[in-house]
Amino acid sequence: MVQPLFIFAESKNIMKNQHCGELLSQQEDIQEAGFNASLGTKIIIHGFRALGTKPSWIDALIQAFLEVARVNVIAVDWVQGATAAYPTAVENVMKLGLEISSFIRKLLAVGVPESSIHLIGVSLGAHVGGLVGQFYEGHLGRITALDPAGPKYTRASPEERLDPGDALFVEAIHTDSDNFGIRIPVGHIDYYLNGGKDQPGCPRLILYGYQYLICDHMRAVHFYISVLKDSCPMMAFPCSSYKNFLAGHCLDCFDPFLLSCPTLGLLDNGGLNMKTLPREVKVYLATAASAPYCVHHTLVEFHLQQRRASDTNIEITFLTSNSSASTSFIIPKQQMLGKGLLIHSAPLCQIESVMLQHHHKFWKRKKDEPPIIGHFCTAPLPVDKNEKMMCLPQVMTITNHNPLLQNLNIQCD
């Protein structure tokens, strides 16, 4: 039995740290609860509840919405139907979808436009949102899927799971695609954080128990809450894979987004200014290990003055007075350019110096190997094809044993 509860969260209670709300069951309840049909409406749908408890993140998500926008927020409590064996919870998805659809009809009856309704589905709740969107023939405004569930859904048809046709704009954040989350794209835009799996800061050893199992999956929720509350732009970039993204092969968003890059948050259509949205586009971004998760993506390049007879492994480190961040790449033999993406916490204009170091393979190290001579260049993403890289004027000489340190003075915009 599903028996969902629809709880209307009022900003006056949330701001007083009174985490309670109005229970809405009849149309009269909606009208009497202070619900404002002229505002946007956020409907939050949790997922499978293995322990039968209230989601620990629900209050924080509600509060984040109410702090950043004048909106109605409704939480769907279906813990009773979500707590059982996972296959049983999956069987309840259709029933819950019908219940939520019936509730939305009551919202429409009091003057709520379909296009102002935003469903936020977590894990299994994302596919519930997809079914609700289907019932309204894709006319609801937005669906945000927070690591949509993978088990039972990866091979499901679009009619059985979330897909881009379920709302005017569908976005998904993937954080656990190798375990509880779905691997395939299910929205107009699919954000794969740190490649969509193995999130930084999450335990990698099973001895951490429940956190080992759930941390990657729940990172999507905590990340989204942080995005709503924090001002740092979370821009993502289309690419064929996270490996190619880190290798510096995907530097702008022109294909397929023309002049804009998708940005997480509450911007219409993820900040994309396009009449027709593309579908199932995989976009990538890196994050820090903890809130607010903000990082900067910067292209770094090293241009050799002359070709070398063997592969050249170069490590590049950005340094500030209290932080450092590194990346490394290989310049293949007989080629002149090596590049990669450097992920760092401080803005590029606050980086004080750059350190370059040559790494030998231990069995190939030669004392008489010639130094590496060339130029270092860098630019923050997105990199406009018509915009020049910032290159240090000095010719840089990296010897076999000693790292080279150079000041990096880039003006802030």
One-letter amino acid at 76 equals V
CB 164 within 8 A of CB 188: yes
DSSP letter (8 states) at residue 349: G
Distance CA 260, CA 235 (A): 10
Instruction: Choose, from 123, 174, 297, 358, the residue flagged as catalytic.
Output: 123
- Residue 383: phi, psi to the nearest 5? -100, 115
Which residues, at least 6 apart from 169, have a Cβ–Cβ distance to it below 8 Å? 141, 142, 143, 188, 268, 269, 270, 277
Question: Is 163 assigned to a binding site?
Answer: yes
Q: Please say if 217 is a catalytic residue.
A: yes
In the annotation, is 123 catalytic? yes
* Residue 216 assigned as binding residue: no
Helix (H) or strand (E) holding 220: helix 210-229
In DSSP terms, 285 is beta-bridged to 193
The question of whether 358 is a catalytic residue gets the answer no
User: Does 70 carry a binding-site annotation?
Assistant: no
Q: Which one of the listed residues 188, 217, 297, 344 is annotated catalytic? A: 217
Q: Give residues with Cβ within 8 angstroms of 324, minimum separation 6.
A: 317, 318
Spatial distance between the Cα atoms of 165 and 139, rounded to a whole number of angstroms: 9
* Alpha helical stretches, state H, 42-194: 58-68, 79-82, 86-109, 124-135
Q: Which of 147, 176, 190, 216 is catalytic?
A: 147
C-alpha to C-alpha distance for 355 and 343, rounded to whole angstroms: 15
Catalytic residue numbers? 123, 147, 217
Annotated binding-site residues read: 161, 163, 166
Annotated binding-site residues for Ca(2+) read: 161, 163, 166
